[in-house]
Amino acid sequence: MKITSVQNDRVKYWNSLKEKKNRDRDRRFLVEGDHLINEAKKQNLIVETISMVDETADYYVTKEIMEKISGQKSISYNAAVVRFIPEDSITGKTIILDNIQDPANLGVIIRSCIAFGFNNIVLSDTSVDLYNPKVIRATEGMIFHINVLRRNLKEFIPILKNLGYKIVGTDVLSGEDVRNIKIDDMAIVMGNEGQGLSDDVKKMCDQFVYIKMNKTCESLNVAVAASILMYEVSHE
């Protein structure tokens, strides 16, 4: 179907998916660019395709429409409405994110999870939305390869412990060098960009690790720290 008016209801709907409440209501989100569309297609999650260059797309639209629905400065020629990625049960290596706020950090962590064999992310219900367009972009398509559960951590960490997971937090003062530890079935917890781990979550940790570094630098970026920990743990 051809659409030429930015006032069209379908265009308004696509544009509404920029907001979390609308994405959550329909359990759908918008992806832009061929790479993400192809990854979504592989997982059978495409609802409808939108294009300004391909007349065979479900909706063939103008550049102005693409500009309206896009969250990027340089727009893509193609986009798609995609269903939320279904949750899976938790097996294998897991990372827990306690109140991560920066969308690029979450996206980068997702990318590193795939690189280092982490299958699951447990995202605190206080964290940035998984389907935030900036998160999706930063994952470089890897969002479709990981199992993400959004949960209340105080309630869910005990469930992980029952599954046999050791909860491993980061602590520069009381921890062990991550290079020297070896734990099977661990779930690494990373805290908020400014405040680190919340007290409630800290209390639930079974062990603490640190990344050896220069004292001038108070802390690493959280996506860097998470990636180094996952990298170390993947070397067994």
Tell me the per-residue interface mask from 149 to 188 with a copy of itself, x by CB under 8 A, - otherwise. Answer: ------------------------------x---------
Stretch that binds a copy of itself, among 10-18, 58-66, 77-85, 114-122 (CB under 8 A): 114-122
Q: Could you give the CA distance from residue 81 to residue 227 in angstroms, rounded to a whole number?
A: 30
Q: Which is nearer to a copy of itself, 3 or 211 (CB)?
A: 211
List Cα–Cα distances, 85 to 6, 35, 66, 72, 150, in angstroms.
29, 16, 24, 22, 12
Give me the least distance between CB of 119 and a copy of itself, in Å please. Answer: 11
Report which of 2, 77, 85 is spatially closest to residue 33, judged by C-alpha positions: 77
Q: Does 42 bind a copy of itself (CB under 8 A)?
A: no
DSSP state of 192: B
Give me the least distance between CB of 13 and a copy of itself, in Å please. Answer: 28
Q: Which is nearer to a copy of itself, 34 or 48 (CB)?
A: 34
Sheet holding 207-210, edge to edge: 147-151, 120-124, 94-97, 186-190, 166-170, 207-210, 176-177
Stretch that binds a copy of itself, among 4-12, 48-56, 91-99, 215-223 (CB under 8 A): 215-223
Q: Does 213 bind a copy of itself (CB under 8 A)?
A: yes
Report the alpha-carbon angle 150-156-161, nearest 5: 135
